[in-house]
Amino acid sequence: MTPGQNDLQDLLDSYRNSPQPSYKVTNYFPIYVELFAHLRGTACTFIETGVLNGGSLFMWRSWLGEQARIIGIDLNPGAQRWAEHGFEIYLGDQGDPEFWRRTLDRIGEFDALLDDGGHQSFQQIVTVYEAIGRARRRCVVAVEDTCTSFMKKFSRHGDRSFLEYCKDATDNLLANTSHFFPGEFPTIRNQENVEHFRNVHSIQFFSGIVAFRINPAAATRPELVWNHEPTEPAADFRFKGVDSAVVQWPGPFDRKAVTVKGGRT
């Protein structure tokens, strides 16, 4: 078995052997391995939002190791009982930015935050925004059960769902390259937002989970470089050939073929 397979089997064993209930989607386990296996056996700080039944707290401690600092966050006061088992528990409302500012200041640096809390879009957005704003070292901020962006009982967000927020957030990964192409990019009118996401190295979309990988060391502004200047620039053929294509648009909730145009404007 490869190390990755061992990590997955160990996680499944930790889940099944947890002394308390925990409800999980089966495809999440290999995603957890991809996102968090590097923390195993380290003195990491792992935060989980939504821990009332307690089963996942025991799973994380078993899988990550006794050195791990496991922190649970929940709005229900009943979650406080898990402090008796050696877990740090913070009670509060994840939809309240001030709660996160106060709590993350108390916790200090963290290596991973997994949101399995209220699942409403505004709660997920506030959690991600505040965690990113207080991340000072390389870490992962992940939100699971993103299916609620489509579910009727969570639909008061309208077109401002958590998944739409994440898709728009990817634009910030490119905003720092706009200086490559003077006059070509739209005007950046929200530089404060670009700065907030500066330390986000990547945003990964999985089935049911979105993960923000934060790496301040990789936050330097990119530049265009040549390995060596060409003596004779190659002819530019990018606008040669056909100037459009009919494609099947990838949205799952309707079927449509659209024409995507190319060429110079």
Return the pLDDT at 182. 87
Inform me whether the pLDDT recorded for 4 exceeds 80: no
Q: How confident is the model at residue 180 (pLDDT cuts 50, 70, 90)?
A: confident
What is the per-residue pLDDT across 205-222, written as a single tens digit (0 to 9) for each?
999 999 999 999 888 888
Two tokens, residue 123: 């709660």
**pLDDT given for residue 1 in this prediction:** 39
Sign of the C-alpha dihedral computed for residues 114, 3, 10 and 145 taken in this order: positive
CA distance 110 to 46: 7
What mean pLDDT is predicted for residues 108-120?
A: 98
Please give the pLDDT value at position 3: 55
Quick one: CA dihedral 115, 104, 12, 5, positive or negative? positive
pLDDT in tens, 47-79: 999 998 999 999 999 999 999 999 999 999 999
CA proximity to 149, closest of 171, 123, 172:
123
Domains along the sequence of the chain with CATH: 3-218 (3.40.50.150)
